[in-house]
Amino acid sequence: MKQVFILQAAMPVMTNAPVVAKLYRADADYAAIMVTETTLLSLVVIPILMVIVQHVA
């Protein structure tokens, strides 16, 4: 259970965040940038976390 929580916490920002931000007149551009950044970063971080979690468990 702990391993699943750790991996879920490393997941990128939800992809509909910019849509919701625009709907509520918030900074949709910033939300779109964060979706892109966290998605790209998760491509590196999640495999590393999977290796760490497997060795710790």
Q: What is the pLDDT of residues 1-57, one digit of tens each?
A: 888 888 888 899 899 999 999 999 999 999 999 999 999 999 999 999 999 988 886
What is residue 4's predicted lDDT score, i.e. its pLDDT?
87
For the full predicted model, state whether its pTM sits above 0.95. Answer: no
Neighbours of 33 (CB within 10 A): 13
What is residue 40's predicted lDDT score, i.e. its pLDDT?
96
Residue 7 CA to residue 45 CA, distance in Å, equals: 10
What is residue 3's predicted lDDT score, i.e. its pLDDT?
86
What is residue 56's predicted lDDT score, i.e. its pLDDT?
83
